[in-house]
Amino acid sequence: MAAKKKNKKATVAPSPADNRDFRTGELYAPAPEARDHATIEARYDLFIGGKFVPAENGKVFATVNPATEETLSEVAAAGAADVDRAVAAARKAFPAWSRLKAAERGKYLFRLARLLQERAREFAVIESLDGGKPIRESRDIDIPLAAAHFFYYAGWADKLAYAFPGRNVAPLGVAAQIIPWNFPLLMAAWKIAPALACGNTVVLKPAETTPLTALKLAELIADADLPPGVVNILTGNGSTGDALVRHPDIDKVAFTGSTAVGKRIQKALAARGTPHTLELGGKAAHIIFDDAPIDQAVEGIVNGIFFNQGHVCCAGSRLLVQEGVAGTIIRKLKRRMETLIVGDPLDKNTDIGAINSRAQLERIRELVDSGVREGASLHQSAQPLPAKGYWFAPTIFTDTAQSQRIVQEEIFGPVLTISTFRTPDEAVDKANNTPYGLSGGVWTDKGARIFGATRALRAGVVWANTFNRFDPASPFGGYKESGLGREGGLQGLAPYLHLLP
């Protein structure tokens, strides 16, 4: 039986009394009606072999609400012995799961998708409490998209022969999957759904600052009666991830996270030849031509960089504007920034929530300071920020140079750099001038410009006259230091299969 302590429910305590809502002057407290939809246990264990079990060494860590700095729950920290147990459980479950009639595997995934939809509200609230993202986004984007991924790959489970005509397909075995904190449940769905549809079993490690929705998903996996060991969830930090990646009995690694850790993982796997996919960082160029619909483009820019506090690998974090419209775009953008509401993630009117962790806030501050030191002009929204919690004002930099750190490095926060260009070629040269190549965007009235730019941009995803749109049917992944392989769509199945002649 689950070792999870059902009796000790954590109530999410109101914020301290010195914390006032900057718009109303009222004492700040997350909307109670939203909070009521979330059940967060005081303590969570590891999910191994279909059961919740404590870490062998008994270690735990706290997961914190970044909007209030309060501890939401204590979570088990998996050590090497727990990694062994989880991989063994996944290995044991593999033969029966991989031989199960494909349509039956699909049914389990459909069941998970429906359960997620039924409990979507609870998942959305927990995602916002644990990660800091606005409830509007977790409610309307993260959770529905996660369910959509399970539905999508459920549909593929018994059609793999049609996905790869003329080939025999076989699952790889035990997949080690490691995910970041910016879209916790969605990243879990991106990983688990295709792996299971192809007949693999899974050990998933969520990020240390946002473990709660993956653990809620473990509850649904148990409710859906998935055979024990098909999905195992290990919470912990980078050392847990490292032990998982280096485990000798895994057949595949799927990693989403920073380029630095991705490189380390690739090095660790090089000698063994374990198949791996890496979804890494980005520094997308968002290109606005002078014939673009200006007001829509400004909304696109706002969505491109301020969605999810800019904690988005494919964020449109480098704006390239054609000279003739640069003044108008920057003026309108500054005005629009003043209307963005930064604050309580559980408030439906919030546009920008809390920065995910103190460490991430410090990284954003450090990079922004470097931009000022290197001579770029800083402009920030004048909206005051809540007193407690981790917050960063919407920020833009003008007068930038291609060599500055803020233009080259991923900031992963609500910070946009702006530069101008004269010709399409100059725009493309600047766009491609970073080590990354994950995504890009183009705003123009002319189809020829869209096709010209999208062909020339070295980026895995390019949006035209929109930004940050996602669909389970479309593949996602990077060029250069943004990664290796694709997730999503038909292309997302191949990395989980042996494709035999």
Helices 143-156 and 120-131: angle between axes, nearest 10 degrees: 120
Contact 277, 495 (CB under 8 A): yes
For residue 332 the two structure tokens come to 């309108």
Distance of alpha carbon 373 from alpha carbon 439, whole angstroms: 28
Shorter beta-carbon distance to ligand NAD: residue 269 or 329: 269
For residue 45 the two structure tokens come to 């264990």
Distance of closest approach, residue 397 Cβ to ligand NAD, in angstroms: 19
Distance of closest approach, residue 177 Cβ to ligand NAD, in angstroms: 10
Distance of closest approach, residue 1 Cβ to ligand NAD, in angstroms: 28
Q: Which residues pair with 277 in a beta bridge?
A: 254
Distance of alpha carbon 372 from alpha carbon 340, whole angstroms: 23
CA 307, 310, 315, 321 dihedral sign is positive
Both ends of the chain: CA-CA distance in Å?
Answer: 44
Shorter beta-carbon distance to ligand NAD: residue 169 or 204: 204
Q: Which of 137, 208, 279, 487 is catalytic?
A: 279
Non-local (6+) Cβ contacts of 285 within 8 A are: 316, 318, 319, 320, 427, 430, 431, 432, 440, 441, 457, 459
Shorter beta-carbon distance to ligand NAD: residue 108 or 152: 152
Distance of alpha carbon 401 from alpha carbon 414, whole angstroms: 19
Could you give phi then psi for residue 307, rounded to 5 degrees? -55, 130
CA 474, 178, 160, 270 dihedral sign is positive
Distance of closest approach, residue 314 Cβ to ligand NAD, in angstroms: 7
Shorter beta-carbon distance to ligand NAD: residue 179 or 288: 179
Q: DSSP letter at 229?
A: T
Binding site for ligand NAD (CB under 6 A): 178-182, 205, 207-208, 237-238, 241-242, 245, 256-258, 261, 264-265, 279-282, 313, 410, 412, 438, 478, 483
* Among 143, 227, 224, 120, CA closest to 189: 143
Helices (H), 285-417: 294-306, 323-339, 358-373, 405-408
Shorter beta-carbon distance to ligand NAD: residue 207 or 450: 207
Q: Which of 313, 314, 481, 487 is catalytic?
A: 313
Distance of closest approach, residue 133 Cβ to ligand NAD, in angstroms: 13
Shorter beta-carbon distance to ligand NAD: residue 115 or 245: 245
* Among 324, 222, 275, CA closest to 498: 275
Distance of closest approach, residue 63 Cβ to ligand NAD, in angstroms: 13
Three-state DSSP class for residue 212: helix
Distance of closest approach, residue 425 Cβ to ligand NAD, in angstroms: 27
Catalytic annotation present for 314: no
Shorter beta-carbon distance to ligand NAD: residue 237 or 432: 237
Amino acid at the residue 204: L
Shorter beta-carbon distance to ligand NAD: residue 282 or 495: 282
Non-local (6+) Cβ contacts of 456 within 8 A are: 428, 432
Residue nearest to ligand NAD (CB): 241
Catalytic annotation present for 137: no
Distance of alpha carbon 318 from alpha carbon 416, whole angstroms: 6
Distance of closest approach, residue 202 Cβ to ligand NAD, in angstroms: 15
Q: Point out the residues that are catalytic.
A: 279, 313
